[in-house]
Amino acid sequence: MAILFQEKDRTFTLQTEKSTYQMKVDRLGVLLHTYFGAATDASDYSYRIVKGDHGYCSQLGDAVEDRTYSMDYYPQEYPVYGTGDFRITALRAAKAGCVPSLDLRYVGHEIRDGKYALPGLPAMFANPDDRDVQTLEITLKDVREELYVKLLYGVFEKRNIITRAAVIENRGSAAFALHRCMSMSLDFLEGGMDLIHFYGKHAMERQFEREAVRHGITEIGSQRGYSSHHHNPFVILCDRDASEDFGGCYGISLVYSGSYRIQAELDQFDSLRVTCGISDEEFVWNLEKGGSFTAPETVLCYSPDGLTGLSQCIQRAYLRNLIRSPWKDRKRPVLVNNWEGTYFDFNADKLLQIAEQAADIGLDMLVLDDGWFGRRDSDKSGLGDWYVNEKKLGCTLKELVDRINGLGLQFGIWVEPEMVSEDSDLYRAHPEWALTIPGRAPNRGRDQLVLDLSNREVVAYIKETLHSLLDSANIAYIKWDMNRTVDNVYSAADPKMSQGEIRHRFLLGLYEILGSLRESHPDLLLEGCAGGGGRFDAGMLYYEPQIWCSDNTDAIERLRIHCGTSFGYPMSAVSAHVSACPNHQNGRVVPFKTRGICAMQGSFGYELDLSRLSEEEKAEAKRQIRIYKDHCELFQQGDYYRLASPFENRDYAAWSYVSQDRGTASLSVVYTDQHANAKPIRIRWKGLAEDAVYDVDGARCTGAALMHGGMVLPMPACNYDSFMVCIHRIS
């Protein structure tokens, strides 16, 4: 069994193949956290909690004279504000006009097969053939008020994943205000760990940073209304000596796409507490009589096999048990997007010229980016007016799509439904639909405002508009963009509603729209985008199997962006394209071959005017497309290995894919610096079958030789040269 409750000790033990997680109901009914780490037995691990009178540590009222009993240093499963625990807490709530104070005690639990669901929120799920998944629901109640907390745990035994969520219920007669409601809290009695997080900015997302957890509070988060380019809602705690291949590693991933907060506090006794959930910066949720609030899900994974083991565990779990789209199991279309090729300057004839070139080199799809709708010849107008500008195109959208389909290509289109231009028909008709604060000039970003997705009328409008668009032509793919922060947060729809609810209700509206598209058009391929990689998170993956990784299309800078992303997300979710050179973001010139090898790390495509390619580049593009299609299953479903990190190695970056049966594999290297009288480079493969014999460009090599002896790489012939080899098992 994945979940075991032992009545005698009142312990809950959650088991996966590589980890054990345990809680205990103590003598006063407090739910303590006793263990999370490498797989072990179901012994009562509460003996690890050492009691003591430490001074200036308060006791619960019913602990009476026991000065060794204090929530200020006891490890707890869901700590709350008001118990004398002065560390960061998971829940802070109060009746209107009252001081926040709670004291939760255990009242019951339920263990059931399958995985819980969170209505209106993305969450991991069990497939019909997943027989090893169970749910634990523990109910806690405040000692005085009729306020209940249901702690939800999903255990994916074979996936080595434990999920957590919390539901707050008001069963009393008076309203409560939630001022903080985290999805989870996790206490470690020993805090000697490193914290890895992924910081960045627009066009340089998910940069790897590792440092020892310091005393005090370390915080990773976003107040921007979306998960952001600047920090990612995924962190790793690991042993100080953990490496790619060795050491204990904990992954913590929030399945949410809005403002969030992850905090780590190393306390006076070197214990470590980590909390994760919705940002409480502006959060206030009115919990009326009979009401409930559901905090989004957090995914936990422990791996004893280093950072590679952790990454592969999360990547496999997300592919199988988070992404809803059927495209997770299908070969993704290799596409060309017209954006960097034309920007706003296009018509049907120019698009058809690109489509003809795309068909000639073997591409599968043409994607029409920004500028096809309303009066949209720059980024200053037209957002919200999702009707086709037939004058600009010179035809209807259906006529254009039919002609592109006639060339053997599928058709995709760009939208940005969450935004509105002030110079638009929609804004002139409904200025109250935009988030603006009465009496104040709004902050603007990219000359646009944010639509109020907490407003039911706005959600209905976006649904109707998108469904009408999809029904108007044979559209197989949508690129969903979002190009500014969410601020000016005031809703005119219901001024009596707590304005502290708007940010979260905005996300609920967004998820509702995305869910309706998945239900009404199940074969639609959705690609996420938020100024590139500003909303690359587990919440969006639930609806969108791939996300535009960054607006930075430079192959060399993409090496770091891809590497950072790989720690917490499947590489098939990374949308990556070959773009023109000199690169439009930084002016760098990189060989066409290298641009292709870098882009093949993810869902592959092109972002340029194909008609401007030389004959040599067209031949190389045909070769790249053929390689990607021949090895698409390997790139989308194979295990990903970081062989040489661009964050640590200034001379080259290297990575590989190995199929689940270890029968096929690829290795890619990009040289990032050159030297006179250069030394030879040897790369050791990982993940192959030691006793297998592989064909390596006509040579016969054992898996053992390739992994232990390695492969000698060819010397680079030019700046930013690259090398790629695909191998297959022959015996």
Please give the DSSP secondary-structure letter assigned to residue 340. H
Q: Is 532 left (phi over 0), alpha (psi -120 to 50) or beta?
A: left
- Residue of 142, 364, 537, 544 marked catalytic: 537
Nearest-10 crossing angle of helices 456-472, 502-520: 30
Task: Clarify whether 145 is annotated catalytic.
Answer: no
Distance CA 88, CA 273 (A): 8
Q: Are strands 603-607 and 335-337 parallel, antiparallel or unpaired?
A: parallel
Q: Which helix (H) or strand (E) holds 263?
A: strand 260-266
Task: Tell me if residue 470 falls in helix, strand or coil.
Answer: helix
Distance CA 161, CA 115 (A): 12
Longest dimension (CA), the chain: 86
- 16: which 2 tokens? 């996966």
Task: Tell me if residue 82 falls in helix, strand or coil.
Answer: coil
CB 545 within 8 A of CB 571: no
The backbone torsions φ and ψ at residue 563, rounded to the nearest 5 degrees and listed phi first, read -60, -50
DSSP for 566-635 reads HTTS-GGGEEEEEE-SS-TTT-----HHHHHHHHTTSEEEEES-GGG--HHHHHHHHHHHHHHHHTHHHH
- Residue of 364, 487, 617, 721 marked catalytic: 617
Angle at 560 between CA 556 and CA 561, to 5 degrees: 105
Answer positive or negative: Cα dihedral of 350, 353, 358, 361: negative
Decide: residue 525, CB within 10 A, 0-12 exposed, 13-18 middle, 19+ buried. Answer: buried
Answer positive or negative: Cα dihedral of 545, 14, 242, 209: positive
CB 274 within 8 A of CB 251: no
Peptide bond into 438 cis (omega under 30): no
Task: Clarify whether 527 is annotated catalytic.
Answer: no
Catalytically annotated residues: 537, 617
